[in-house]
């Protein structure tokens, strides 16, 4: 039996045992679509949803609008003021949360099926009739500002902010999702209302549901919760961008005994034919496991840092290879040198056959862990819907991993692992580094 046969059998076995194979595409009478996994073992429903267009839709001079709105939608809606709304959630054991990232404005609802009518009512009110009252705006603004002040000396935050500013200069991705003290202070009710009107619409809505409901019940729920939203969004066009600052070394000085390092380079898009091979290549290089090359070279062999990792980030408007570590100020320069050398070696030589085999085995065997709770399943379904991967991707994914060859991985590694293209940002007081 060949190794490919073994991997194919492992993939099929993992799919049979753990994959939520019965994913249904549900269309409500009003035309709202969702992916559903029906599961009646526990009388719960987990609903995850997202509107395409997150912080990238913030006004150019006021980053932080999407983030602030995500904190406002459950601060009073319809007939309920803030306290009453929160009481309704607590009394019915309903979890309702909102958040914003660069590309999406997201929500999450968890409820007992017996409380489903109340949960749907509160969700509908939050989306359509949030009060956005001055007192609540001031309270949420204060919470955000307190966090921003705390982060002003946080090397992790400062490194990431500087990295994004450099990598995506002049682009919405270069703006901080939570905004700045100046921009948050300037956000007003009109900004929040305009964002809600432009982004929260049915044509850019993705929904995933897991729980004890059938397609008919979910269809009615979708119309009740989302049917009153505008049909069409009004999104500002966001340009595609390749990571900038390639080859740049930047230092943000912070008084701390340990520096944070963030590094990145252009990556591959999610629908690029080389994406899966690149995913395997990155797993071998720095995929967060003890066997990864960066972990072995940086931590095990030299004791330079407690941890180091890398990942692929295929965003909607950019594709990036990104990683990071943290180490003592006097060991930063050596750590960056070792990381750069390993990236260069992977790009030039690629992995060996055993590395590819072990990486594929790990990625196939661990995939089921993404689906061991209802919330994880709903989150994965939403992710796949947003990425336009197709409702059958869960069943195809492990076979796609198994079919990747060593030559595929070497080709992908040569595309993305070039140390000369690395943008490296350090926050701290690194010895021997300036920038």
Tens of each residue's pLDDT in the chain, 435 residues: 333 343 334 334 433 334 455 899 999 999 999 999 999 999 999 999 999 999 999 998 899 999 999 999 999 999 999 999 999 999 999 999 999 999 999 999 999 999 999 999 999 999 999 999 999 999 999 999 999 999 999 999 999 999 999 999 999 999 999 999 999 999 999 999 999 999 999 999 999 999 999 999 999 999 999 999 999 999 999 999 999 999 999 999 999 999 999 999 999 999 999 999 999 999 999 998 899 999 999 999 999 999 999 999 999 999 999 999 999 999 999 999 999 999 999 999 999 999 999 999 999 999 999 999 999 999 999 999 999 999 999 999 999 999 999 999 999 999 999 999 999 999 999 999 987
3-class DSSP state for residue 277? helix
Query: For the chain, how long is the longest CA-to-CA vector?
Result: 69
In sign, the C-alpha dihedral spanning 393, 399, 403, 406 is positive
Give me the sheet containing 44-52, strands edge to edge.
23-27, 33-38, 205-211, 44-52, 104-112, 95-100
In sequence order, what are the residues at sequence separation of 6 or more whose Cβ sits closer than 8 angstroms to the Cβ of residue 117?
none
Quote the CA–CA distance of 382 and 385 in Å, as a whole number.
5
Quote the CA–CA distance of 129 and 147 in Å, as a whole number.
27
Quickly list H helices, 152-248.
Answer: 155-167, 181-186, 189-199, 215-226
């Amino acid at each position: 039996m060949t190794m490919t046969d073994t991997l194919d059998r492992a993939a099929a076995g993992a799919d049979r045992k753990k994959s939520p194979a019965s994913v249904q595409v549900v269309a409500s009478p009003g035309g709202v679509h969702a992916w559903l996994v029906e599961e009646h073992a526990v009388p719960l429903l987990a609903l995850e949803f997202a509107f395409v267009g997150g912080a990238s839709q913030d006004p150019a001079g006021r980053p932080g609008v999407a983030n602030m709105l995500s904190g406002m939608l459950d601060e009073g809606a319809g007939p309920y003021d803030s306290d009453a709304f929160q009481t309704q959630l607590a009394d019915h054991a309903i979890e309702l949360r909102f958040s914003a990232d660069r590309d999406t404005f997201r929500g999450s609802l968890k409820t007992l099926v017996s409380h489903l009518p109340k949960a749907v009512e509160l969700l509908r009110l939050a989306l359509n009739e949030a009060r956005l009252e001055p007192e609540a705006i001031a309270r949420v603004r204060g919470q955000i500002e307190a966090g921003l002040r705390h982060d002003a000396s946080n090397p992790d935050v400062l490194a990431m902010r500087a990295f994004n500013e450099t990598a995506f200069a002049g682009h919405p991705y270069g703006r901080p999702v939570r905004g700045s003290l100046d921009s948050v202070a300037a956000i007003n009710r009109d900004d929040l209302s305009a964002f809600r009107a432009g982004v929260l619409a049915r044509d850019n809505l993705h929904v995933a549901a897991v729980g004890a409901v059938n397609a008919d019940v979910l269809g009615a729920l979708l119309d009740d919760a989302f049917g009153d939203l505008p049909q069409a969004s009004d999104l500002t066009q966001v340009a595609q961008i390749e990571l900038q600052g390639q080859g740049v070394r930047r230092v943000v000085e912070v008084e701390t005994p340990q520096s944070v390092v963030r590094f990145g380079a252009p990556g591959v898009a999610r629908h690029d034919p080389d994406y899966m091979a690149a995913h395997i290549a990155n797993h071998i290089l720095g995929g967060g496991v003890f066997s990864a090359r960066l972990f072995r070279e940086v931590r095990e062999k030299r004791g330079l840092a407690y941890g180091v990792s890398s990942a692929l980030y295929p965003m909607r408007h950019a594709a990036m290879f990104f990683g990071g570590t943290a180490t003592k100020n006097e060991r930063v320069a050596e750590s960056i040198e070792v990381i750069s050398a390993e990236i260069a070696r992977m790009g030039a030589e690629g992995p060996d056959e055993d590395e590819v085999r072990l990486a594929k085995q790990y990625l196939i065997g661990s995939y089921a862990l993404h689906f061991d709770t209802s919330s994880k399943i709903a989150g994965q379904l939403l992710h796949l819907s947003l990425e336009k991967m197709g409702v059958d991707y869960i069943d195809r994914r492990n076979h796609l991993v198994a079919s990747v060859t060593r030559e595929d991985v070497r080709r992908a590694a040569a595309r993305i692992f070039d140390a000369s293209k690395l943008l490296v940002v350090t926050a701290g007081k690194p010895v021997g580094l300036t920038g």
